[in-house]
Amino acid sequence: MTQSTDFDALRRAMQENYEQPEGPARNARAEVLLAEAEKLNIPLAVIEALGHQLKVYNYSSEKDRMFVPFARLLRMWDERPEDFDEYETHSLHWVFKWVSSGMVGQPHVPLASIEKWLGEMEHRYRLAGHSERAVRSTEFTVARSIGDLARAERAYTAWLAADRDSMADCHACELHDQGWWRAEQGAEAEALELWRPVLEGEYTCAHEPHAVLASSLVPLLRLGRLDEARAHHLRGFRLVRPMESMRGAYADHVEFCALTGNEARALELLAERPAYFTDAGEPRSRMDFLAVVALLTDRLTSLGLGAQTVPGPAGRTWTAAELAAHARVEALSLAGRFDERNGTAYVSGRVRERMDQPPLVERLPLGIRATPAVAASVRPAPAPSADATADAEPDLAALLAEARRLSAALHPDSVAAWAAVAEAAGDEELAPRDLAELTDHEAMGLGPEGVELFARAAELYEAAGDPGEALAARARGAYVLALSGRTREALAAVSEPYERVLALFAEGGTGVRQAASVLVGRARILLQRVHEAAEVNGAGDDSKVLAAAETAARELLALAGPEAGNDVLVASRAAEAQATLGELAAHAGDAERAAELLTRASEAFVAAGLPWFAVEYEARLTGIARHLGDAEAAERAARAALEHGADFLEPAGHAQLHLQLAEILGATGRFGPAADHALEASHWADEGGEGPTLGAWARHQLGGFLLRQGRWAEAAEVLESALPELSAQTHGDGAIVQTHWWLGDCLTELGEHREAAEHWLQAAEIARHWPEQRDHAMLAHLAAEALGHAELLPQAEQAYARAGDLWRSLGNVHGLIRSLRARAWLAVREEGSGLDTARELMDEAVRACEDEVSEDDETREQLVAELAQTHRQFGDLVARSAPDDADDEAIQALFEEALAHVTLAVAGFLSLGEDALHSRTGAQLAAGWLEADLEHPDRAAARAREVLVAYAEGDGSDETVVARRGEAERLLRATESNA
């Protein structure tokens, strides 16, 4: 091989190495490549290898190693500047910024040396004719880092005033630093406005918006813009995760989690990067990382979790308390080294402020599943109030009064209030009535385990002279029997209280309250029998059971309804009778009647001041309204249930209602609000211990809603979090396939084609076993496209062939044709016989179009369009396949072959009329350029004029029209110059 060939190979190797992930392996390879460059005896090869080494060091955890190759480069420049080409001359001056600002992050480098290098940079930039913008920007970085804030402000002003030139940092990086400075001065809103063009993608680079997203997290939290902060974390962490050099930005994400109640998530982040605890190549970012580790672990310790094992430096096991102490000492030690070098206490002060921050948000749900290493519900116990500490012994009389008040209001807290009475009473003997109520409520708190206590309560009511309430307690005991599946026994147990209370009521021995309480118990038992019958026989199949329950509910309504306005408990019994009738109507298949009755019941509970009882029925009404297709009523009911149950629902209940509302909103295209409720659902499911079940489904839904808003990175994070917990047994394999499918869509949008293909292939493998194979075919096709984009050509060919076979078996000629065309484009990229294979595949696609017969006009037109598109692509493929070293005769033959196909495409599109106008003009222009290349200027001009005529009436608002006109005019000018 010649030296030139060796140099070309070296350059390719350096480019390939630069595209590898940041880290020691890439750095080591750069060192090997430098050694190879030195063997070539080509100065420029050594210069390029040194520049490559400097770049990979700068973007790694070994940042301190970049100074040696830079010093060598600078010496080579001073000795023989003619050895540097234009690019390397520019690069040498460019990296001056890295070296000058990088020194300030190394506490062993004296301040005088940093100032010397800054002056050297200014001198050399002036000699090279560069603006002072980059110099002042670097001076600003140095000044702000050492705490000379007055000088930093002066440098900042001079930086912005200087002209931008080729040495200035990219717009994205400049805006990051400018916004950071404003945020440091407390102008968070101004900082975010400066960052806006970077956040919106107007300005980007290899490390932006990564750094801006991280820097924006705390300012957003301070401004209360929590939704944006959450989105920036999900989007930004995904970018930072693979970038070893971005330890400082990584620390910002750990800090965000520690400040928002997401301690478990923060621990997961620490576990992902164990080397960050000890990598010493950039002390400044290590100090920042250790500071947020101290913040996090101090937070855990304050929550009573100091003994919990947490990720830390390798070599030993760490508890949160131990790591908190270690990280604080290490961070302050590093800060002290900087301050000693700088002659100030600025860095230590900043580090202490960061470590000692209080949480900014008690709990900010992220929508992703964190390993439950931290109990999210554990929070410091509130300090006892002055009143509580003043009276060591609770006032039993006051507790009794409060318990009675809550019981009279049928409040959900009444059971807890009576428990407080029991605790306060201790061994003190209570009055028979008090003891009866206490025992009754204790039984209520035990659910199915309270049967015996209900019997005891009945005895106590009898002893207290209240036979009606004794019968009511017995009815309650019978109902809890039914809840444990013993409905026949329960019905027998309630028969005597039922008959006795009606007789007692007729004699005036008890009132409506007690009678209604017995009747409601019996109605509940009969409704429970209906539910059991439905499980065994299907809804509505046991007409006798259904009729008995309906009779009981109507009897209850007849008794309680007339008196509902006079007593809260009676009103609740009347409302429950309506609700029971609604449930029975639903079981009988009369959804409209069920909705009407449940609506009445819910409204009655709310009107009686008992909104917590309405929640169950509003949730039921939500499902019925969705079944009826009444999205507005479903939404109204779901929102009412959330409002009325806000203070009383268990976490799982919150999760279910939020998920219902999310699905309703999503079904009507309101994906933003739907995502908000799916996020809440995932949070509450985790809080209720149902993360792997209900929580996984909520995350699945949330990911889909985010995807539909084009929030690809956030959706990907959420879906990846959901995927491990989705199971075919719990959620169905359709949910797993859909999650993989959505992830493929997200990753494609993010440019992660290989990963997208993996998800689509995994989904295809599941769908392969389904009776209907269309999804299998579509997923194989999508995977093939992604594999092609990832330059995995043999795998792409295999996947397209699989998709084509599936499309053929399904009789889907369009899918088959597109897979054949895609395979042809893959084939033409191969050396040797690639074009011949491509021709065969395109010919097969043409035959598939021509052989398909349809009597339907619309289908026939679709086939004509497919055939025209196939000829168009056939022509493009042949024309582009001409080798660079082909002779004129070979090129002419290929162009003539291509022109024949494009001409057929024009004719096909022409037959479709105005619907295919843009496709036709595109093909006409392609044919025109081929005519021009074949030295047929008149024919080429004619093609161009046809396009101009086709768009003669068009306005300038259609981008395609503007583009086609412009291209046609260029083609005309080209033919005139060649005429």
Burial category of 522 from C-beta neighbours within 10 Å (exposed 0-12, middle 13-18, buried 19 and up): buried
Please count the helices (runs of H) and the strands (runs of E) in the chain.
Answer: 47, 2
Q: Quickly list H helices, 723-856.
A: 728-731, 733-749, 753-767, 774-789, 793-810, 813-828, 834-851
Residue 313 pLDDT greater than 60, yes or no: yes
* Amino acid 379: pLDDT: 39
The SS3 call for residue 319 is strand
What angle (nearest 5°) sits at the alpha carbon of residue 369, between those of residues 365 and 370?
95
The SS3 call for residue 190 is helix
Measure the CA–CA gap between 172 and 193, rounded to whole angstroms. Answer: 13
* Amino acid 539: pLDDT: 46
Are 298 and 263 in contact by the 8 Å Cβ rule? The answer is no
Mean pLDDT lowest among 165-174, 568-577, 771-780, 875-884: 875-884
Mean pLDDT across the stretch 314-321?
A: 94
Tens of pLDDT, residues 283-308? 999 999 999 999 999 999 999 999 99
* Amino acid 565: pLDDT: 86
Which residues have CB under 8 Å from 220's CB, separation 6+?
188, 192, 226, 228, 229, 232
Cα Dmax for the chain: 119
Mean pLDDT lowest among 11-25, 407-421, 754-768, 879-893: 879-893
Residue 886 pLDDT greater than 80, yes or no: no
Tens of pLDDT, residues 472-506? 999 999 999 998 888 899 999 999 999 999 999 99
In Å, what is the CA distance from 496 to each residue of 444, 501, 573? 21, 8, 20
Tokens of 476: 């309650």
Angle formed by the axes of helices 111-128 and 86-103, to 10°? 160
Which residue matches tokens 């050396």?
A: 831
Which residues have CB under 8 Å from 589's CB, separation 6+?
539, 540
Indicate the average pLDDT of the chain: 91
Residue 540 pLDDT greater than 70, yes or no: no
Q: Is 317 left (phi over 0), alpha (psi -120 to 50) or beta?
A: beta
* Amino acid 305: pLDDT: 95
Which residues have CB under 8 Å from 442's CB, separation 6+?
415, 418, 419, 422, 450, 453
How many CA within 13 A on the CB side of residue 847? 7
In Å, what is the CA distance from 60 to each residue of 279, 280, 331, 616? 10, 11, 20, 57
Query: Hey, how many other C-beta atoms are within 10 angstroms of the C-beta on 19?
Result: 8
Res. 332 pLDDT band, cuts 50 70 90: very high
Q: Identify residue 177 by its one-letter amino acid code.
A: D
* Amino acid 465: pLDDT: 92
Tens of pLDDT, residues 416-463? 999 999 888 888 888 889 999 999 999 998 888 888 999 999 999 999
In Å, what is the CA distance from 409 to each residue of 644, 649, 967? 15, 18, 79
Tell me which residue of 685, 678, 679 sits closest to 661, measured CA to CA. 678
Asked, as a colleague might, if the bond just before 365 is cis with ω within 30 of 0, I would say no
* Amino acid 25: pLDDT: 93
Tens of pLDDT, residues 160-209? 999 999 999 999 999 999 999 999 999 999 999 999 999 999 999 989 99
Residue 880 pLDDT greater than 80, yes or no: yes
* Helix/strand/coil percent split, the chain, to 5: 75, 0, 20
Residue 101 pLDDT greater than 80, yes or no: yes
Are 20 and 29 in contact by the 8 Å Cβ rule? The answer is yes
Burial 198-211 (b: 16+ CB within 10 A, else e): bbeeebbeebbbbb
Residue 375 pLDDT greater than 60, yes or no: no
Res. 371 pLDDT band, cuts 50 70 90: low
Are 520 and 410 in contact by the 8 Å Cβ rule? The answer is no
Residue 1 β-bridge partners = none
Residue 391 pLDDT greater than 60, yes or no: no
* Amino acid 2: pLDDT: 57
Which residue matches tokens 């091989």?
A: 1
Which residues have CB under 8 Å from 604's CB, separation 6+?
564, 571, 574, 575, 578
Q: Identify residue 752 by its one-letter amino acid code.
A: E
Are 191 and 180 in contact by the 8 Å Cβ rule? The answer is yes
Residue 319 β-bridge partners = 309
* Amino acid 953: pLDDT: 82
Residue 205 β-bridge partners = 208
Residue 148 pLDDT greater than 90, yes or no: yes
Res. 538 pLDDT band, cuts 50 70 90: low
* Amino acid 80: pLDDT: 94
DSSP 65: G
* Amino acid 4: pLDDT: 59
Tens of pLDDT, residues 619-664? 999 999 999 999 999 999 999 999 999 888 899 999 999 999 999 9
Residue 385 pLDDT greater than 70, yes or no: no
Angle formed by the axes of helices 793-810 and 774-789, to 10°? 160
* Amino acid 173: pLDDT: 95
Query: Hey, how many other C-beta atoms are within 10 angstroms of the C-beta on 25?
Result: 12
Tell me which residue of 59, 104, 96 sits closest to 246, measured CA to CA. 59
* Amino acid 770: pLDDT: 95
Residue 675 pLDDT greater than 50, yes or no: yes
* Amino acid 381: pLDDT: 36
